[in-house]
Each structure stands twice: as structure tokens, then as C-alpha cells.
Amino acid sequence: MKKIFIVGSLNYDLVINAPYMPVGGETIKGSDFMTNAGGKGANQAYACGKLGGRAYMCGVVGEDSFGKALIDSLNGVGVDTTYVRRQEGVSTGVAVIVVTEGENRIIIDSGANAYLSEADIDLALSGAQVGDIYLTQLENPIDIVGYGLKKAKEKGLTVVLNPAPASREIIKYLEYVDIITPNETELEILGGKDALFEAGINIVITTLGGAGYEIATNAGAKIYPCIKVSVVDTTAAGDTATGGLCVKLAEGENIENSIAFGSLCASLACTKRGAQMSVPSLDEVNEYLNNN
């Protein structure tokens, strides 16, 4: 199995359920408050580790209890956190998540994530080999994300970009991306599939929520359904899908089988609350496959 290098954000999540989103000046009663290790980069690394991948996380946290909790969470599923640096004098990134009727709305304070540097990426990729997987997102400074994409491509890694939260600033770096995994909104912001192909991307996998996902190349596109589940919380579903995709790519599976596995894992994640705690284990995935 190839190694998976995940470069990205680590956030500590503060989650609360609400009957609806309050308007300005309004106070309402919430319920089921919980804390959870999160951040798109950490979530994807956690998914890779829990689903059996050889995952290496690169990112930055503060020297606070939230930072320690995030590192401990990743270590707990076998993710190598050697390249997670602790930045003195700043707080760990935080995400405040409000869940209404199974859908989440998120406010992020980047904190230490803003301190990710080119040197951090250079160190993390010092042991990378041709054919390893490189996975990143857009919750860190875009110029640093772009540097990482270019560096990974130069070293011969398979480069996967989850363009969330979407930013058109990343477009100038898309020539270094092999596979991109936007949702429908992110795809629109980036200019659509044709624009992505023109930028040099080979494969566009668009997640379609409950409708499944689409695999598109210059040769054409096809939509695939996802399994139907009772949705409890969609937090980290996309991260789980991307993590599962990368695990199977690292095992040598083709793109169709890889994203089918990722989609199944994402659907199972929607049946639980939270970010990392909702990611299914490989045993849970296999149990579902054996029973359905």
C-alpha cells in the first residue's frame, strides 16, 4: 500500500443542535452540545487511518488542550502525526457548528492553521515516494496550499484536492492536481467541469449529496447513486468520502471502485453525530457489505 500524505487544517469542533437558525438578535434553545476533533485536513487523515490507510498528517495546532486532543485523536486511529507542529502563542483552530434538521452550518477561526508553512510541507514530503497519495483542502492559506500541490506533483505523487471551502484563488494551482472532489456549489464557484479540465485536471468527482456522485473525465461523465440511510448529521461526510477514496487509491484500486468505497463510508458517517467520531471503521464498512 502507498503512503497517504494529508496536508491541511486541524480544528476543534464545538457542536450544538438547534431547531432552526436564529435571526439577528434572537436567542433560542439548543440541545445535545458536544465537542469533537475536526478540521477538514484532520478529518480526512482520520478517515484514512480508521479505514486502514498509511496516513501521515501535516498541519499546525496551538500549544493548548485543543491541540493535544486533536493529535491524540489522530494517533488513536494510527495516523502518523510527526509532521503536526505546535505553534507557540496562538490558539488551535476552532469550528462552531450548528446542526439544524441534519444539515450543518459552520463558523471557523483558523487559529494555528494560518501558520502552515512551506517548510512544514517540505519536511512532511521528505520521505514521499513516486506514486504515493497527496491530499489537501483549502482551510489553510491558499499560497501555501498551492505550494504543496506543486511540490507533490514535482515529486511524482498522485495529487488529490478537496476544494473546500471553495476559493477561486486556487485556480492558478490546478495544473498540479490529478483528481478534484468538489460538491456542486464548489464546482460552480471554480467555473464548472470544462474549466477544470482546461486547467489540466484529469478526473472531477462531484459529490451530489443524497443523489450520489458523478465521475467526469474528458471522455464523458456518469452519475452513480449512493446508499440510502437515515441522516442524523452530515458533518464530515465529504471528508470521509475523500479519505475513503484515497485509501483505495493507495491500495491500487481504480477510480470507480475507490470512490464507490468512499461514498459508502460517507453514507455510513451520516448516521452518526459529529465529525471524526462519525467516521466508520473498516470493520463497520465490511459488516454493512456482508449484510447488504
Q: Is 239 a catalytic residue?
A: yes
**Residue 147 and residue 176 in contact, taking contact as beta carbons nearer than 8 Å:** no
Point out the catalytic residue in the list 13, 80, 120, 239: 239
What are the cell numbers at 256? Answer: 470507480
Do residues 106 and 95 lie in contact, with contact meaning Cβ atoms separated by under 8 Å? yes
Residues tagged active-site? 239
